[in-house]
Amino acid sequence: MYQKIKEAANYMQRILPFTPKIGLVLGSGLQPLAQEIQNAVIAEYHQVPYMPHATAPGHVGQFVCGYIEEQPVICMQGRLHGYEGHTPESIVFPIRVMRAMGVQTLLLTNAAGGINTSFSVGDFMLIEDQINFTGKSPLIGPNDEAIGPRFNDMTFAFAPDLREKAKQAAHTCGIPLKQGVYIGVNGPQFETPAEIRAFRTLGADAVGMSTVFEVIAAAHCGLPVLAISMITNMAAGVQMQALSGAEVNATAEERSQDFRKLVREIIKML
């Protein structure tokens, strides 16, 4: 596995005239930020050795590398999800590649359903911790010590200093930032109202179908994470109305401008 990661990282390093400092993963509907990257160098996933392909709607499937707020970034425009049929290990392949390229901070974004009833559609939530409810882990199987230890800590996976910076950045740009626990599920079906009540009892504030494996792999290879959810809808049963992918995308588009402003301000501070 480490050889494959190295090969992919070498390919990216050959085509890039700089070393990215920040790895950025854009969630559903949050893709427009990739268009704002300056001096962009693009690598489509199929050009990168061993890189899986993205198939989720609205997820393009390319690395866009360049500068945001004068910081060198590598951005995944198009995320990999378990519901597409990707294994947890292949989902985290690009995270490990970013680490091997020299990335120092992983900035994850996602669309999520609001479980906490004090949240509103369109809110942003700083992820302070996660519950991996998928029943899977990207670390199952033989451990490659060249990547990370067999039993890795998760206590500080969501780096406290980065969370402080995100709060400051939100304050600076006047965008309210909620905080909470993200619960990651497999999908692709949305949850039932009973599942959402159960998740609330477990201590979750928002639910989504991504992120948890990426965080686990980042913690494993010693890459600090900052993660932000956009609450694109209230989770099932919070309001007695049906959920749809269209609602998720419509909110993401509506809130896209503030989201980009917040992410830019955060990147400035990293």
Residues engaged in binding ligand HPA (CB under 6 A): 111-113, 190-191, 207-209, 232-233, 235, 243, 248
Between 11 and 190, whose beta carbon lies closer to ligand HPA? 190
Between 58 and 72, whose beta carbon lies closer to ligand HPA? 58
* Shortest Å, Cβ 89 to ligand HPA: 22
* Shortest Å, Cβ 13 to ligand HPA: 34
Number of H helices, E strands in the chain: 8, 9
Q: Residue 234 in 3-state DSSP? A: strand
CB 70 within 8 A of CB 264: no
* Shortest Å, Cβ 59 to ligand HPA: 13
Between 77 and 229, whose beta carbon lies closer to ligand HPA? 229
Sign of CA dihedral 125, 131, 133, 139: positive
Between 48 and 252, whose beta carbon lies closer to ligand HPA? 252
Between 116 and 233, whose beta carbon lies closer to ligand HPA? 233
Cα torsion 80, 85, 89, 94 to 10°: value is: -20
Contacts of 169 (CB under 8 A, 6+ apart): 262, 265, 266, 268, 269
- Give helix 256-269 / helix 160-172 axis angle, nearest 10°: 120
Measured at CB, which residue is nearest to ligand HPA?
113
* Shortest Å, Cβ 243 to ligand HPA: 6
Output phi, psi for 247, to 5 deg.
-65, -45
Q: Tell me the β-bridge partners of 64.
A: 42, 75
Between 9 and 209, whose beta carbon lies closer to ligand HPA? 209
**Which of 5, 10, 16 has its CA nearest to residue 92?**
5
* Shortest Å, Cβ 268 to ligand HPA: 27
* Shortest Å, Cβ 119 to ligand HPA: 12
